[in-house]
Amino acid sequence: MTLVLTLQPDDPTPPYQQVRRQLADLITAGLLGPGDRLPPLRQLAGDLGVAVGTVGRAYRELEQEGLLTSRRGGGTRVAAHARAPEGGRRQLLEGMAAEFVARARTLGFTDEEIIVALGRQLPS
């Protein structure tokens, strides 16, 4: 399965933060495992249409969090100890759901409306 990052130009979240969050989520969900190699900065930056420094900042922050390791000439890889926590995928999904529900409630939607909207996104 090819893993893909998506950058939304309309999202107020800074691009480096979007990249950082998506990579962190992929590691937490176990889709990126220890030792997996990430693409070079230039390739990722070129594909996403952002400056090399933007991707570099995302990589750097993930390194500081201990999720990635970089070696000169060896590229950037997922750190050996950055294993997906037990129930990490479930926690991630619940976090996303909680975030969605909180945002919808802030905008004044009722719980029923939220459930209906979510149901429409999941056609059986």
Residue 6 C-beta: closest distance to another protein, Å: 5
Placement of tokens 């962190």 in the chain:
24
Placement of tokens 């990052």 in the chain:
5
Residue closer to another protein by CB (options 48, 114) is: 48
* Distances, alpha carbon 33 to alpha carbons 2, 10, 27, 41, 71, in Å: 14, 30, 6, 19, 17
Q: Which of 87, 89, 83 is nearest to 34 (CA)?
A: 83
Residue 5 makes contact with another protein by CB under 8 A: yes
Q: Which stretch binds another protein (CB under 8 A): 30-38, 56-64, 65-73, 106-114?
A: 30-38
Number of residues that bind another protein (CB under 8 A): 22
Residue 106 makes contact with another protein by CB under 8 A: no
Residue 116 C-beta: closest distance to another protein, Å: 26
